[in-house]
Amino acid sequence: MSKPLCVMKFGGTSVGDASCVARAAQIAARQAAHSSVIVVVSAMSGVTNRLIAAATRAGTGDRQEAAAALQDLKQQHDAALAMLISHQDERDKIALLMQEILDEGRRLCEGTALLCQLTPRTLDSISSLGERLCAPLVAGALAEIGVRSEAVDATELIVTDGYHGSAEPLMEATRRRSEARLRPLLDDGLIPVVTGFVGATSEGVLTTLGRGGSDYSATILGAALGADEIIIWTDVDGVLTADPRLVAGARTIPDISYREAAELAYFGAKVLHPKTLRAVMEAGIPVWIRNSFAPELPGTKITPRGRTNGGGVKALTAISEVALISVGGPGIVGVPDVVGRTFSTTAAARANVLLISQSSSQNDICFIVASADAARTVDALRQEFSKDLSHQQVEHITLDPDIAVVAVVGENMRGTPGVAGRTFSALGRDHVNIIAIAQGSSETNISFVVERKAMKAALEATHREFALEKPGS
Ligand code: ADP
Ligand code: ASP
Ligand code: MG
């Protein structure tokens, strides 16, 4: 009988330096004693940010910053290599490979600086360098402890569409390629160490899955190969009741459903890339979130149905890189199809609308988009409604950039009366002003808009109200 298959992803902090990489290798090696293992790696922490900053500067003609960044990355990876790999031959082999990757990065940045133009395609190639540098290091660390492994570039496995910066996998092609490339390695008892975050179009052009996308890489590969479980190793104990950086009493949730976890991720819980669970929905593969710095802890298990907590609210999340746009004024009642026109305009502007709220009199439609999309969306709306604005039927199209959305999430809120009431009373008690409210019909989520400076207070008030710091709540 074949062994179970486990896909493990290590995030940036979990491979942040030589000792972290060594710990990650130990974790994978332990798992390999009783299952087949595929490792997916992120770039070392901070590396992708640095690369993107360098690429952006190169786009303005500045080649110094890119040269400095690549030099720093070389030092960082060389230092890790020296600490991790004792055999000179092996070390030289990996160092050569890394040098080739860095040289490619230098050429890409120089070309960008020369043209003073950074295309999305080049940005993807530059931002993928961190994962490409990391995979051989982790594979080398496994070999060092006697575990056979091979670094594999995800461009050979994950086939995507051509939407640079946020590509979508084409699952059938991905399945075929992953089977052909990885199955023989697994059958041979090797651990493939795959670059997270990246893919390639069927023509072979490199793409990325979006920031934080290595989580998604892990579930894409897990689904493609019919894995038995996926473990996402990170720097916190699991999915917590709130972001621990914002709420001191946040607690690890032992079990959570796909839907709840997806809702949290969608509304900003960075612990999971928002699309992570999409890939495994159909197959129902369990996904664990665990702490690579405390591997003895069980972490959080994400399954299709989770486990009911009886009480309703499971966790909170907040997202601050968003802006509120409102289209309104008493006159808009008479404007034909104002709602349809508003949202076909946001769609044409490719703005992702996170939340919509409309007053019943139709006096005001307000919605939330990512900050990066906000100015573009407002311009497009002003153009669409230019005639109505000049006749003053639509009185305003405004943008508020200083807001945050807080979401209260829990599958069992459905049928639990009073959650909304308790939420808003708690906020009132703590003098948090609510700007807009939305509740999905699935009732898995109540979200509300507050001033950005009140975000932390809003999270603390609701966390306390639902006693989320207490085990079993
Ligand atoms: P990795 O590099 O391992 O992918 P990330 O930084 O992307 O890690 O995600 C982990 C971080 O997500 C945590 O350090 C934590 O600050 C943040 N986070 C936000 N919301 C939550 C939550 N509800 N539960 C756990 N972590 C959260
Ligand atoms: N390294 C990539 C990023 O920083 C992908 C990831 O970490 O998941 O966005
Ligand atoms: Mg992440």
For residue 401, give its domain range.
315-465
- The binding-site residues of ligand 2, defined as CB within 6 angstroms of any ligand atom, are 11-12, 42-43, 48, 130, 196-197, 211-214
Domain end point (choices 235, 262, 291): 235
Q: How many CB atoms lie within 10 A of CB 296?
A: 6
417 part of a folded domain: yes
Which CATH number covers residue 11? 3.40.1160.10
pLDDT, one tens digit for every residue, the chain (473 residues): 689 999 999 999 999 999 999 999 999 999 999 999 999 999 999 999 999 999 999 999 999 999 999 999 999 999 999 999 999 999 999 999 999 999 999 999 999 999 999 999 999 999 999 999 999 999 999 999 999 999 999 999 999 999 999 999 999 999 999 999 999 999 999 999 999 999 999 999 999 999 999 999 999 999 999 999 999 999 999 999 999 999 999 999 999 999 999 999 999 899 999 999 999 999 999 999 999 999 999 999 999 998 866 668 999 999 999 999 999 877 777 777 888 999 999 999 889 898 898 776 657 889 999 999 999 999 999 999 998 888 877 788 999 999 999 999 998 786 777 888 999 999 999 999 999 888 766 678 899 999 999 999 999 999 999 999 987 65
Residues 331 and 207 placed together within one structural domain of the fold: no
53 and 194 in a common domain? yes
Query: Is 152 part of any domain?
Result: yes
* 274 in a structural domain: no
CA–centroid distance, residue 284 to ligand 2 (Å): 25
Q: Tell me, what's the pLDDT at 46?
A: 97
Query: What atom of ligand 2 comes closest to residue 214's alpha carbon?
Result: 8
Q: Is 400 inside a domain boundary? A: yes
For the chain, what is the domain count? 2
Which residues, chain by chain, have CB under 5 Å from ion ligand 3? 11, 212
Alpha helix locations (H) across 165-244? Answer: 171-187, 214-224
pLDDT score of 358: 78
Residues 6+ apart with CB under 8 A from 178: 157, 158, 221, 224, 225
Asked if 227 and 346 sit in the same domain, the reply is: no
pLDDT at 362: 59
CB 210 within 8 A of CB 151: no
- pLDDT of res. 417: 77
User: Are 460 and 341 within one domain?
Assistant: yes
Mutate to test the pocket of ligand 2, among 197, 208, 219, 272 (most ligand atoms within 8 A of CB): 197
Q: Which residues line ligand 1 (CB under 6 A)?
A: 11-14, 42, 212, 234-236, 239-240, 242-245, 264, 269-271, 315, 317
Asked whether residue 374 is domain-assigned, the answer is yes
Residue 58 shares a structural domain with residue 163: yes
Question: Rounded to whole angstroms, how far apart are CA atoms 425 and 430?
Answer: 9
From atom 26 of ligand 1, which residue's Cα is the shortest distance away?
271
Q: Is residue 288 part of a domain?
A: no
- Which residues are CB-contacts of 206 (< 8 A; sequence separation ≥ 6)? 121, 124, 125, 128, 155, 198, 199, 200
Predicted local distance difference test score (pLDDT) of residue 14? 98
Same domain, 226 and 369: no
| Domain identity same for 78 and 224 | yes
Question: Rounded CA gap, 326 and 344, in Å?
Answer: 15
- Of the three residues 201, 235, 269, the one that is the final residue of a domain is 235
Provide the pLDDT for residue 29.
Answer: 98
Q: Distance between CA 113 and CA 442 in Å, rounded?
A: 49
Q: Residue 460 is part of a domain; what is its CATH number?
A: 3.30.2130.10
pLDDT score at 461: 97
CA dist 233 and 254 (Å) reads: 15
User: Which H or E run includes 451?
Assistant: strand 445-451
What angle (nearest 5°) sits at the alpha carbon of residue 381, between those of residues 401 and 334? 115
The H or E element that residue 397 is part of is strand 396-409
Q: What is the pLDDT of residue 350?
A: 83
* 472 assigned to some structural domain: no
The DSSP letter of residue 366 is E
* Angle at which helices 419-429 and 455-465 cross, to 10°: 130
Where a domain ends, among 179, 202, 235? 235
Check residue 357 and give its pLDDT. Answer: 85
Instruction: Say yes or no: 319 and 227 in one domain.
Output: no
Test site for ligand 1: of 8, 267, 270, most ligand atoms within 8 A of the Cβ: 270
Residue 83 sits in the same domain as residue 222: yes
**259 domain-assigned:** no
